[in-house]
Structure 1
């Protein structure tokens, strides 16, 4: 089938299999951590703080990680990061198993996860181009990778909701620990023919500056990264507040929170399937605009939803828009960035997405505590609409300037 065409590549098939198993455990842990923190503290601010700590290293380290990955064997980096993330999940499981509910250590382990992810995500994204021999299949591979991520987001939280209500958070952490075995086995079975990395003799900070200058000279790439950063700061943090919707606004339990996360996974999964059916020639910029609009409108609808069913539906639509937006930006960057600059370009994308998100989560968690969750989420949706308008205006202005330069040159 066309939608699964990238699975004909042996290395990508192994990667896809390992990720399919491990990501279910990852989502179970994410839900368990969020529920544990809110159950123990009842604080939307602390909920945002934990998300902040797990993602803030991407803001600080992503550009450095991009240069580091470009200089070293990305496959070996991925093996090491997966082992460390496995140990982090095991440490969480042991803490909760012995009922050691210490927010300091929970926050510390979340920070460790964020530090490792800064390198793990960059290495994983940069390796993608080496997993498919036919580069025409790269957009499909990226979309399928997103689909398995969001399929896990559908299954993981649903399982977590049941396990949290019956067995406890520690079992979720233990399952995540065990799931990393699948990734490591699949990675070690790969037959990669990576070219020897020619290490730069220049200081790594010089490489960082080159990445920044490359983006300055590529306004189409830069504008997408800026749009991603604005969305991560002002719109996407609505996901951090879903436990508040589940527990306080709709008077639910851990199972209700699992429904919200699964609804988001369901919508994002369909968004990923749609992206996987696209061909390389499709206009990614139009998809970015329409998906960002869908995200913004759905977030506003979530904020004013009078019933749980409608709120779950709006959460699914918002996740569909978010999935299509992030996947289309990722695909555009991977297919338009120069080979020598791909790692650094993707590192800025990761910084804009995962790095700025914790700042947004912290801010929105604080504002939700001050002004109410529904008011803040409605503001996030309105901000999303303004971001789309700004992006469209910038693109039209850029193309107008480009046409004028061509006209004067002739």
Structure 2
């Protein structure tokens, strides 16, 4: 079975295309909001408020979203969230169109969109089983991470140009349109083509049961630490290019795009692995840590951009491994709950990491925040090596 075999299935191909479009639109929004806030305040700490509004709702609603995804068909949830997200994104376009945008309204709009996307993210992870079935699940999960990377390879560059030429409101409307297109792609997926997945009727698999499993608890802990210290790239890359190197919006977009090119390759490498387990995190976190430290050592913008694809490759490989290992450990009827715990770690820590790294950048530099993330990733690799024994 080829690494990209899941893309031959019509439903998964439509879903993948919709995710790429949605994430491209999200980059239009995120880049525009980041630059609007930086222009108004000149502070990475203020910029971290956007990150908090975007990801804090995951801590509040993540567990509920996981339970819902195990009781309601994910396709239904995604149809609702795409419509709601389009409406909220359009309203943000109105807010940033003001001559002096109100930061409180920006934070509120981002928070509302973050709430909707909490349910969307977990349902998007849960629907993969129904799209491809158990035989192709691990590869399909790794491939789905490529949608994020592919969007990052396209979105930031286009967003930088759109922001410079058309302004922030146009970027918000582009994001709203991307959510509408996601809804259309979901409507094209025939419900009868979906693989049956048992619907949870009882709490047969509880969070406590998962946390008592040594391998799963290790994965969840590593996921939290890496997310807290090393995965705040929306903030760190933008602030480093803008504040540390003093470059413009198009350079910010180029930094994200170069990073994403490598992430596409990294996700593809993860999809080629014949078997993914928690032990696979040892090389994944080690490579991620080394790439972060190399990027942190770049003394000039040119070298920083040159290191972008290498860092992206490490990010894509790590994300593919951690998501595949998590889904492989879940029973079909509990995938929503398992992925809600992973999502709580991956995204729920982002607000705290954003505040922490915003403070580090204001006190030192973006390069220092990258170095901290690199050391944290290396420590996580050593932790997994010690805690999860090698199987014979």
Q: Which interval holds the TM-score relative to the shorter structure?
A: over 0.9
How far 1:377 moved relative to its partner?
A: 2.8
**What SS class does the counterpart of residue 2 from structure 1 fall into?**
coil
Residues 289 and 388, structure 1, Cα contact 8 Å, conserved in 2: yes
1:271 aligns with 2:266: yes
**What SS class does the counterpart of residue 101 from structure 1 fall into?**
coil
**What SS class does the counterpart of residue 355 from structure 1 fall into?**
coil
**What SS class does the counterpart of residue 71 from structure 1 fall into?**
coil
Number of residue equivalences = 390
Deviation per residue, 1:5-46 (Å, 9 max, x gap):
112222112212222323221222122121221122110101
CA distance in 1, matches of 2:265, 2:183: 28
How far 1:223 moved relative to its partner?
A: 0.9
Tell me what 2:340 maps to: 347
CA distance in 1, matches of 2:232, 2:191: 37
Deviation per residue, 1:106-152 (Å, 9 max, x gap):
1011111211121111111111100114x322222222222122111
How far 1:98 moved relative to its partner?
A: 4.0
Q: Which one has a bigger Cα radius of gyration?
A: 1
CA distance in 1, matches of 2:205, 2:341: 12
Tell me what 1:81 maps to: 81
Aligned-residue CA RMSD (Å): 2.3
How far 1:160 moved relative to its partner?
A: 0.8
Change (3 A) 1:236 1:17: closer
CA distance in 2, matches of 1:331, 1:199: 21
Tell me what 1:407 maps to: none
1:160 aligns with 2:190: no
Structure 1: tracts of 5 or more residues without a match: 404-410
Residues 66 and 122, structure 2, Cα contact 8 Å, conserved in 1: yes
Residues 153 and 261, structure 1, Cα contact 8 Å, conserved in 2: yes
How far 1:196 moved relative to its partner?
A: 9.0
**Paired residue for 2:230, among 203, 226, 235?**
235
Change (3 A) 1:15 1:108: same
Residues 63 and 344, structure 1, Cα contact 8 Å, conserved in 2: yes
Residues 198 and 332, structure 2, Cα contact 8 Å, conserved in 1: no
CA distance in 2, matches of 1:197, 1:3: 26
Residues 62 and 351, structure 1, Cα contact 8 Å, conserved in 2: yes
Tell me what 2:173 maps to: 174
Tell me what 2:378 maps to: 385
CA distance in 2, matches of 1:230, 1:326: 14
Alignment of 1:16-95 (within 5 A): 16-95=16-95
Which one has the bigger helix percentage?
1
CA distance in 2, matches of 1:53, 1:370: 22
Residues 199 and 333, structure 2, Cα contact 8 Å, conserved in 1: no
CA distance in 1, matches of 2:371, 2:233: 9
Tell me what 2:12 maps to: 12
CA distance in 2, matches of 1:247, 1:234: 20
Structure 2: tracts of 5 or more residues without a match: none
**Paired residue for 1:224, among 215, 219, 222?**
219
Tell me what 1:150 maps to: 149
Residues 139 and 324, structure 2, Cα contact 8 Å, conserved in 1: no
How far 1:285 moved relative to its partner?
A: 4.1
Deviates more, 1:377-386 or 1:74-83: 377-386
